[in-house]
Structure 1
Amino acid sequence: MESVRNERSVYLNGAFVPESRALLSFRDSGFVYGDAVFDTARTFDGRLFRLKEHVDRLFDSLAYCRIAIDLDRQDIIDATEELVRRNRPLLAPGEDYWVSQRISRGVMQLDGEPPIQDGPTVLIECTPLPLRARAAMFRDGIEAVIAPLKRIPPEALSPNAKINNYMNAMLAQREVTAVRPGAWALQLDMNGNLAEGIGCNVFFVRNGKVQTPRTDYILPGVTRGAVIDLCRNNGIPVEERDIPLHLATTASESFFTSTSLCVCPVRSLNGRPYLGSAGPVTKRIMGLFADLVGMDYAAQYLSFLRDGPTRTGF
């Protein structure tokens, strides 16, 4: 293995190499067409959380996109765990990693040209979580704004596959950022119901019941699933249903779930405030999730609180 002192490694097509030496062809279909899938787990105190569930979803996305790789689930799990082991010493105190597997169909072959690469491109990489940029969200809650662009309908592209082409979501976020810097975009489905945030799922609390959109129009997040299980196992009423705008705006609480955020309160939707920075049900679920992962993740974010703008990272 090549190594460069104080530089993170990546796994690329069977080898661990320094990030600066991980080279991809500009003819790779992931770059040319967005013809690729990915999934992302995170670490807690350097330990991966629910990696198997993330890898299972990755292989579901591969099957949907008809990308076949020569590695099985355990191969990806083993390579991911080894990469984290190699990169863990480079984490700054108190930090953790986003850990992503990114797989494209590979290099596009031109008519009559010799092949540059055989088969898909398989990349696994680690990126420090954006703890500083998002720390204030755990003090103040997230400001959510409904974007003018709706979620791509499932008749055009399944929302259940985690694919590289995020243009719909990125444009939605940029439309919101242009008018409310630091706010997080929420998208509606084609029926006008709440779908999901950019890179996250959304929950609402109304009359003590936790409600979240059905999976027909969203990517069902691993953290979302963990929160639904926590509610069911701890006597918190929870249901998956269509969420019309009226329900969302008359709820008493709201929170986002994602791999990086875990569970984070939403303070307002389109300027309409919820119960402070976090209501009682949200606080309880945050505590249950912290127990599940064995770490006070909100305190981790708050330890990086600093002056400066809040940024979503999208």
Structure 2
Amino acid sequence: MDTLSTHEALPDPRNADILIWVDGDLVPRPQAKVSVYDSGFLLGDGVWEGLRLYDGRWAFLDAHMDRLEEAARALDIALPPRGKILAALEATREANSMTSDAHARLMVTRGRKRLPFQHPGLTETAPTLVIIMEHSVPAAPRPVRLATVPHIRGLPMSQDPKLNTHSKVNCVLACIAAEKAGADEALMLDVHGFVSTTNACNFFIVKKGGLWTSTGDYCFNGITRQAVIDLARANGIPCHERNFSLVDCYCAEEAFLTGTFGAQTPVESIDGRVLGAAPGPVTIRLRDLYRELVESPPGEKQGI
């Protein structure tokens, strides 16, 4: 059976003609380029955010910008002012005539270097800002299958798994291992052997009608993850951030992934163990609550 990317979108011919923001210029897709001396290309030295457009509004925009700024501070990258980044985001949206069902990848690297080496002092330009914005409707023809892999979510003193950096090789290797095992995405453990996250999304299971997710110590600081936690607690669904094992996963009633792109993606199986309904009733309820939240008018909140 073919594997399925959790970030697969329905084909849209308009994406061939999108304009991409590259350091102040909106350029056609084939001409959107950065230097081979750019820190992001040379070293994966940068931070990024994925944003989702619903009915003319970017969902959780302030939270995404806060996270981008925190990650940039952690990497000692001097971001442009928030207003300048938001203006670039809006200019890109307007140039591509996007009003809904669009996905943006906003990337900032340390900038271009004068020599192809590691030291930040070799950087000779301001940070590079790129925004790729595509017409994007998630394609989810079936629930996803997960496989556990030997690649773990590591300690924060090596590379903090909470940070959304360009350095993703650990997650790429995990994804490759899962694909070779015949699965769609990798389920990754933390340094203690507890379930943490997948290579690209945050992970939840349902047991006895309650929601379980990791402590958050070794997983990406997901904005959709937190929204689901808040929605569950505000709507009478018990939610536990706790350590749990693969055995707990194998016995789960439901499981799903969360992320900005796919929102809530149901899980069919883990290591070949088929779970219950996919999506199950708790997943469906949370998906409906989430949709109400992101589509509610500005200033209005649904359930949280």
| TM exceeding 0.5 | yes
Amino acid at match of 2:64: H
Amino acid at match of 1:159: P
Q: How does 1:216-227 map to 2 (within 5 A)?
A: 216-227=217-228
Query: How far apart are the structure 2 equivalents of 1:214 and 1:247?
Result: 15
- Identify the residue that residue 197 of structure 2 maps to in structure 1: 196
- Identify the residue that residue 65 of structure 1 maps to in structure 2: 75
Selected match of 1:127 from 134, 137, 150? 134
| Contact persistence 1:152–1:168 (CA under 8 A) | no
String of CA shifts for 1:102-142, please: whole Å, max 9, x gaps. Answer: 1111111239xxx99521111111134363xx4213xxx22
Amino acid at match of 1:58: L
In the alignment, structure 1 segments of 5+ residues that lack a partner are 1-5, 296-314
Amino acid at match of 1:98: H
Shift of 1:234: 0.7
- Identify the residue that residue 87 of structure 1 maps to in structure 2: 96
Identical aligned residues as a percent: 33
Selected match of 1:15 from 25, 36, 54? 25
Taking a change above 3 Å as real, the CA distance of residues 242 and 116 of structure 1, as seen in their structure-2 partners, is: closer
Query: How far apart are the structure 2 equivalents of 1:166 and 1:62?
Result: 16
- Identify the residue that residue 153 of structure 1 maps to in structure 2: 155
Shift of 1:252: 1.2
Taking a change above 3 Å as real, the CA distance of residues 126 and 37 of structure 1, as seen in their structure-2 partners, is: same
- Identify the residue that residue 288 of structure 1 maps to in structure 2: 289
Query: How far apart are the structure 2 equivalents of 1:116 and 1:158?
Result: 23
Shift of 1:148: 2.2
Selected match of 1:109 from 114, 133, 157? 114
Amino acid at match of 2:89: T
Taking a change above 3 Å as real, the CA distance of residues 252 and 21 of structure 1, as seen in their structure-2 partners, is: same
Shift of 1:243: 2.0
Shift of 1:275: 1.5
String of CA shifts for 1:143-193, please: whole Å, max 9, x gaps. Answer: 111122222322311111100011101111111111205x22111111111
- Identify the residue that residue 104 of structure 2 maps to in structure 1: 99
| Contact persistence 2:254–2:278 (CA under 8 A) | no
Selected match of 2:125 from 107, 110, 118? 118
Shift of 1:82: 2.3
What RMSD over aligned residues (CA atoms) do the two structures have, in Å?
Answer: 2.3
Amino acid at match of 1:10: I
Query: How far apart are the structure 1 equivalents of 2:82 and 2:135?
Result: 24
In the alignment, structure 2 segments of 5+ residues that lack a partner are 1-15, 117-121, 297-304
Query: How far apart are the structure 1 equivalents of 2:123 and 2:268?
Result: 51
String of CA shifts for 1:206-257, please: whole Å, max 9, x gaps. Answer: 1121111122101121111111111111111112111222222222111110
Query: How far apart are the structure 2 equivalents of 1:263 and 1:165?
Result: 25
* Pair 1:28 & 2:38 matched: yes
Selected match of 1:163 from 162, 165, 180? 165
| Contact persistence 1:186–1:197 (CA under 8 A) | yes
Aligned length: 277
| Contact persistence 2:110–2:123 (CA under 8 A) | no
Query: How far apart are the structure 2 equivalents of 1:279 and 1:81?
Result: 37
Give secondary structure in 2 for the equivalent of 1:155. helix
- Identify the residue that residue 258 of structure 1 maps to in structure 2: 259
| Contact persistence 1:55–1:76 (CA under 8 A) | no
Amino acid at match of 1:15: D
- Identify the residue that residue 180 of structure 1 maps to in structure 2: 182
Query: How far apart are the structure 1 equivalents of 2:107 and 2:94?
Result: 19
| Contact persistence 2:203–2:213 (CA under 8 A) | yes
Amino acid at match of 1:123: V
Amino acid at match of 2:108: I
Query: How far apart are the structure 2 equivalents of 1:290 and 1:51?
Result: 16
Moved more, 271-280 or 193-202: 271-280
Amino acid at match of 1:81: E
